[in-house]
Amino acid sequence: MSKKLFIKTWGCQMNVYDSARMADVLAPLGYRPVDEPDGADMVILNTCHIREKASEKVFSELGRLRQLKDVKAEVGDGRMIVAVAGCVAQAEGEEIVARAPFVDMVFGPQTYHTLPEMVAKASRKAGSVLNTDFPVESKFDFLPDESASQGVSAFLAVQEGCDKFCTFCVVPYTRGAEFSRPGAQILAEARRLVAGGTREINLLGQNVNAWHGEGLDGTTWGLGRLVRELADIDGLERIRYTTSHPRDMEDDLIRAHAEVPQLMPYLHLPVQAGSDRVLAAMNRKHTADDYRRIVERLRAAKPDLALSGDFIVGFPGESDADFAATLRLVTDVGYAQAYSFKYSARPGTPAALEHAQLPEDVKDARLAALQQLLNAQQQAFNESFVGRTVPVLFDRVGKRAGQLLGKSPYLQSVHADANERLLGRIVEVRVDAAHPNSLAGSVATGEYRSSATGTQTVEATV
């Protein structure tokens, strides 16, 4: 009999990928995803620990779930298994078990391939099953094939974990050491995704460009080589990768941007700060000028490359002059889009122990100033497209009837009135208006373009 599974996901794209894979692992046990936790047989909170308030959010969600669990039991509808997964589970597993004993399973990001055993244990006994090991085996070797279709644009995890230990970051502690999946496994997953209707693959990793996996020829490949192999898959129209570290931006990957048409002209390359003093305190092991030079090389290879980044303001000890250096770097580089955060002291990380923590109002003011500059750059970038025609991969229906949503090569969201038959296709769209976070357009011609198969005509596009 089919059982209802509700998964709530916080945080990064890797967590979105992990949630989909958890559903795949649970499918043979009869669990089918549902959109609401009410009445579910299993609820998994897949959590993120990267910034503060994460665990408070989890505990307040657990309070709500406890009531739903009680109601389900009272009406005689069986037991709701409540689970906490992801990085909060990894970092605060024991506290969760102590504070919320009605939680049945608590498990870290590297253990979800063992979900069937955990479910069996949780069904047998009262109390929580806690599993926050870093197993010697790779979970990827034990995951089942993904369920039928992962959509037009799908995630594919190629790398996990991090050995870089930036002083502000919990990832090396919650996700564990850097690990690269073998090329053959990745290519097989990519082929299955494409056979299931995927046209764009987003390669994922905490440090995706640190990927150095076993190649098909037994030698170690870098990400550039992997991208070239993926580009040979018939029907795979677009390739993206995220998130990259400046130190791992190898020449071959930069060349791939020039040489592989399927590799999209967009790169998320976090720099965090523009002051060398702060970068050193963060243990980034690159300077602001190193970053500028990498950007120059990338733009020499791919002049239209759209850049995105991550920034942290208010790192311990950051002075006005340090912050001014961040604004200068942003002005010099010019971002199409970016994410910016206030520094958040994370328990167990070296920067959290620094005495020179900055007051919230200073962090607030700096964040506002940085976001004003980044938003202006993003708006200008989007406006530069008005009147131009861009190839859009339509990947979902819009909120309004008759509207489709998709992405430009530069990862801008584009909406246009279009026939649903164009879902999953790359269509030329003329941009009519630019908004801060999206473009509005109209389907330009009766043609759609495919980098793999050339131009083909469809009779009616809208």
Annotated binding site for [4Fe-4S] cluster: 12, 48, 87, 162, 166, 169
DSSP state of 348: T
Q: Could you say whether residue 10 binds ligand SAM (CB under 6 A)?
A: no
Please state the closest distance from residue 284 (CB atom) to ligand SF4, in A. 7
Q: Which of residues 269-288 bind ligand SAM (CB under 6 A)?
A: 270, 272
From ligand SF4, ligand SAM, none, interface partner of 165 (C-beta below 5 to 8 A by class): ligand SF4
Give the residue among 389, 431, 401 at the shortest CA–CA distance from 414.
431
Please state the closest distance from residue 258 (CB atom) to ligand SAM, in A. 24
Of 203 and 426, which CB lies nearer to ligand SF4 in the complex structure? 203
**Tokens read off for 332:** 């010099």
Please state the closest distance from residue 125 (CB atom) to ligand SF4, in A. 36
Of 245 and 366, which CB lies nearer to ligand SAM in the complex structure? 245
- Under DSSP, is residue 368 helix (H, G, I), strand (E, B) or coil? helix
Contact segment (CB under 6 A) with ligand SAM among 27-35, 90-98, 339-347, 354-362 equals 339-347
From ligand SF4, ligand SAM, none, interface partner of 344 (C-beta below 5 to 8 A by class): ligand SAM
Residues within the interface to ligand SF4 (CB under 6 A): 162, 164-166, 169, 171-172, 206-207, 245
Q: Which of 3, 8, 51, 212 binds ligand SAM (CB under 6 A)?
A: 51
Size of the site for ligand SAM (CB under 6 A): 18
Of 11 and 213, which CB lies nearer to ligand SAM in the complex structure? 11
Q: Which region, left, alpha or beta, applies to residue 411 given φ > 0 means left and ψ of -120 to 50 means alpha? A: left
Report the sign of the C-alpha dihedral through residues 163, 159, 293, 376, in that order: negative
Of 55 and 209, which CB lies nearer to ligand SF4 in the complex structure? 209
Please state the closest distance from residue 178 (CB atom) to ligand SF4, in A. 9
Q: Judging by DSSP bridges, how do beta strands 212-214 and 153-157 pair with one another?
A: unpaired
Q: Could you say whether residue 358 binds ligand SAM (CB under 6 A)?
A: no
Rounded to 10 deg, the angle between the 183-195 and 223-231 helix axes is: 30
Contact segment (CB under 6 A) with ligand SAM among 22-30, 165-173, 327-335, 386-394 equals 165-173
From ligand SF4, ligand SAM, none, interface partner of 172 (C-beta below 5 to 8 A by class): ligand SF4
DSSP assignment of 11-76: SSHHHHHHHHHHHHHHGGGTEEE-S--TT-SEEEEEE--SSTTHHHHHHHHHHHHHHHHHHHHHTT
Please state the closest distance from residue 153 (CB atom) to ligand SF4, in A. 23
Q: What is the residue type of 99?
A: R
From ligand SAM, ligand SF4, none, interface partner of 50 (C-beta below 5 to 8 A by class): ligand SAM
Please state the closest distance from residue 27 (CB atom) to ligand SF4, in A. 30
From the number of C-beta atoms within 10 Å of its C-beta (0-12, 13-18, 19+), residue 29 rates as: middle
Of 114 and 202, which CB lies nearer to ligand SF4 in the complex structure? 202
DSSP state of 263: B
Of 242 and 408, which CB lies nearer to ligand SF4 in the complex structure? 242
Please state the closest distance from residue 398 (CB atom) to ligand SF4, in A. 34
The CA–CA distances, whole Å, from 24 to 1, 27, 29, 109, 159 equal 17, 5, 10, 15, 19
Binding mask 176-215 for ligand SAM (x = CB under 6 A): ------------------------------xx--------
Is residue 97 within 8 A of residue 128, CB to CB? The reply is: yes
Q: Could you say whether residue 167 binds ligand SAM (CB under 6 A)?
A: no
Please state the closest distance from residue 371 (CB atom) to ligand SAM, in A. 14
Of 37 and 161, which CB lies nearer to ligand SF4 in the complex structure? 161
Q: How far apart are CA 196 and CA 147, in angstroms?
A: 9
Q: Could you say whether residue 366 binds ligand SAM (CB under 6 A)?
A: no
Please state the closest distance from residue 218 (CB atom) to ligand SF4, in A. 29
**Tokens read off for 99:** 């504070």
From the number of C-beta atoms within 10 Å of its C-beta (0-12, 13-18, 19+), residue 107 rates as: buried
Q: Which of 69, 228, 240, 245 binds ligand SAM (CB under 6 A)?
A: 245
Longest dimension (CA), the chain: 67
Q: Which region, left, alpha or beta, applies to residue 449 given φ > 0 means left and ψ of -120 to 50 means alpha? A: beta
Virtual CA dihedral for 306, 312, 318, 324, nearest 10 degrees? 30
Q: How far apart are CA 268 and CA 245, in angstroms?
A: 9
From the number of C-beta atoms within 10 Å of its C-beta (0-12, 13-18, 19+), residue 3 rates as: middle
H/E element, 428: strand 426-434
Rounded to 10 deg, the angle between the 360-383 and 320-333 helix axes is: 10
- In the complex, the residues that contact ligand SAM under the rule CB under 6 A are 12, 50-51, 168-169, 171, 206-207, 243, 245, 270, 272, 310, 312, 341, 343-344, 346
